[in-house]
Amino acid sequence: MLNKVLFLTLLLSCIFVLPAAADQVTLEPDQDAFVCDCVPGVTNPMLGNEYLAQGRYSACYNRTFIMWDLSSIPAGSTIDDAEFRIYCCQFYGAPSGQMVYYRVLEAWSETTVTYLNMPAFTTDGAVFLSSWPTGGSWHTIDVTDFVAGWFTGTDNYGLYCHSTGSTSTSDCAYYSSRVSSPGYRPRLVVTYTPPSAFEQSTWGGLKTLGNNDSESDECTCECFMELPPPCPATEETEITETDTEDDAKSISK
């Protein structure tokens, strides 16, 4: 009888528990690198480790791989929003075609990935953007669905950032996670709602009480002609981010 009273008391109290407030975390990449089909056996060709690239340059296509460790987000949280932000230090050519983002399906290493051994990816849930960044601005991509999937059990091997439909040079050089100024590094900004204190501290007790009561139920490279400009040496803080406009999502099948 006592178990039933305690169980009902706790159950009723949960009705009056306020929902947990949303929180936000900014994550730097766990890994990032780029590859080029014109230099198929080289990691981060021409530009070096401080840069990434995405798009078409002459007859060459540059592709970026990037991933994040989500373990700092409390277990049981709900992912409300996730933005991938990356700084375009220089744009080559004119905008043409679309930028596209795919989910990677297998492990890769930022020190050894090349065009020849790049990991498999899926077109399911791909994100397409028609609006390209300009040089000297932040580029923002809504990756909420990707992050929510990773957080709830889909294998997290990061993103494959490519382009499609470009008819001429349309290529962006970004700063990587290894650039000297932290304020210019890529980041993943995740807004999430953590589980309530009641959910974290009492649900296990409720299950125990319920289960203990015998009467209750169980409940050649043309990649770049010149390097983009280095980060300003005096830059120590994050600059204002300029989100790209007119982002569009579509699913490629």
Q: What is the pLDDT of residues 227-247, one digit of tens each?
A: 777 766 544 444 444 444 444
Can you give the pLDDT at residue 13?
A: 53
CATH annotation of 23-212: 2.60.120
**Residues 207-231, mean pLDDT to the nearest whole number:** 53
Can you give the pLDDT at residue 30?
A: 98
**Residues 13-24, mean pLDDT to the nearest whole number:** 68
Can you give the pLDDT at residue 55?
A: 98
**Residues 117-138, mean pLDDT to the nearest whole number:** 97
* Average pLDDT for the chain: 83
Can you give the pLDDT at residue 251?
A: 37
pLDDT band at residue 10 using 50, 70 and 90 as cut-offs: low
Question: What is the model's pTM?
Answer: 0.77
Dump pLDDT digits (tens) for 35-90.
Answer: 999 999 999 998 889 999 999 999 999 999 999 999 999 999 999 999 999 999 99
Tokens at residue 120, please?
Answer: 């498999």
For the chain, the structural domain boundaries read: 23-212
- Residues 6+ away with beta carbon under 8 Å from 226: none
